[in-house]
Amino acid sequence: MNTAIIFGLLIVLMLTGMPISIALGLTVMSFLFVMTTVPIESVALKLFTGIESFEIMAIPFFILAGNFLTHGGVAQRMINFAASIVGHWYGGLGLAAVVACALFAAISGSSPATVVAIGSILIPAMVQAGYPKRFGAGVIATSGALGILIPPSIVMVLYAVSTGGSVALDPEGKRVLSASVGQLFMAGVIPGLMLAFLLGITTFYRAWKNDYPRLPRADWRARLKAFRESVWGLLLIVIVLGGIYAGLFTPTEAAAVSAVYAFVIAVFVYRDMSLRDVPKVLLSSANMSAMILYIITNAVLFSFLMTSEQIPQTMTAWLKSSGIGWVEFLMIVNVILLVAGNVMEPSSIVLITAPILFPIAASLGIHPVHLGILMTVNMEVGLCHPPVGLNLYVASGIAKMGITELTIATWPWLMTMLIFLIIVTYVPELSLWLPRMLGML
């Protein structure tokens, strides 16, 4: 009964158009004041300790690094490098968009930032080269979603933070630890590269079928020149992932290093940004970080309420008694997350659902890293379909297209992502093989 009241109140508040963060906070406070005897002091203490996490500090640093790179001309150099490699194939600029999105995703951690950085350059260029606007916008809107699957990923950090305080037991009754940020980052590498490959195949097929233009084949000198110009940005991938794996620094420290490195190459190496532009980048990064941290704060309260009312434990017991196995459970999870993607943005979905799903998944023998990657892929799909698909709105603004028209344009790539979601769901080794080989699991 309490579960129905809590989620009913949350849904009603969201239907009023209230921001999800405020709806979460009001739901928690209303329920605690009216229907429980939980001391308000414990709520205040949980509010403070819940966000007192070292890993949360990675979020503003990755946002800052992404903004420096977006404004600093790194994207243009990565596009040139990608075009020199794949531009001579069918749909050359479209394939370059997929490759550039994958490269930029590996240094930004944000899907909207990837769409802005790559799309603002490539969509006009593709239209000018003779590609239909729908094709260019469809490629960018979906490939930009790689920003949250290829590490570093802000969504993965949120998953690790939101499940960090959850109590979970495996089928044998042993305590299961939540996934760390480092484990999730390494687990996202192979699925991220696989999805980029599948999106590239879809792009190539549509370009070949419709005989879209190709770029002239670049010789080795042009490719070497493009690589040398983009190498400073590409090195950031090595610094972040290599530093974490080598044990030189934690993911949070890697985020801080990436922010400083991005500032240096944008201002002093490439010189695409002046010191006068830095305060503007700092302010926009602070605004975005504050928005996410406010959502986290209220989600921590919501998680506290879930734990206080024993809702995850009740759902786990019900699933066990009903005989639902891990196969059916993961199918239900996918449906829930895809439906949630219609009304909420990724950070809110992860922060609300992860603390509930994690204990249930653990009780069915599902690895927390696998669940984290599965949820991240679902968030990718949610970014690419209406009514709240953020990538669609960003891409529509760049391409000057209506949301309905752009939604139709993304369908071939969106269907590819849904097929990939099924593969990731039922082939756990795609997510677990690399961190296991590296000795992280």
Count Cα atoms within 13 angstroms, Cβ side, for 27.
30
Interatomic CA distance for residues 433 and 105, integer angstroms = 21
In the prediction, which pLDDT does 1 show? 63
161: Cβ contacts below 8 Å, ≥ 6 apart: 53, 55, 56, 296
**DSSP states along 100-125:** HHHHHHHHH--HHHHHHHHHHHHHHH
In the prediction, which pLDDT does 363 show? 86
Residue type, 135: F
Interatomic CA distance for residues 241 and 437, integer angstroms = 15
CB atoms within 10 A of CB 293: 14
**DSSP states along 333-394:** HHHHHHHHTTTS-HHHHHHHHHHHHHHHHHHTT--HHHHHHHHHHHHHHHTTSTTT-HHHHH
Token pair recorded at residue 202: 């879809």
Q: For 407-440, what is each residue's pLDDT tens digit?
A: 888 999 999 999 999 999 999 999 999 999 988 8
For the whole model, what pTM was predicted? 0.87
Interatomic CA distance for residues 383 and 389, integer angstroms = 4
Q: Which of 393, 51, 340, 343 shows the shortest CA–CA distance to 354?
A: 340
| Contact call for residues 158 and 296 (beta carbons, < 8 A) | yes
Count Cα atoms within 13 angstroms, Cβ side, for 359.
23
Q: What is the mean pLDDT of each run of 10 residues along the chain (441 residues)?
A: 75 76 79 74 70 77 84 81 88 90 84 85 87 90 89 88 74 78 92 95 92 85 89 85 82 88 88 86 86 78 73 71 83 88 80 86 90 93 79 84 85 94 94 90 77
Largest CA distance in the chain: 73
Q: For 276-325, what is each residue's pLDDT tens digit?
A: 888 998 998 888 888 888 777 777 777 777 767 777 667 767 776 777 88
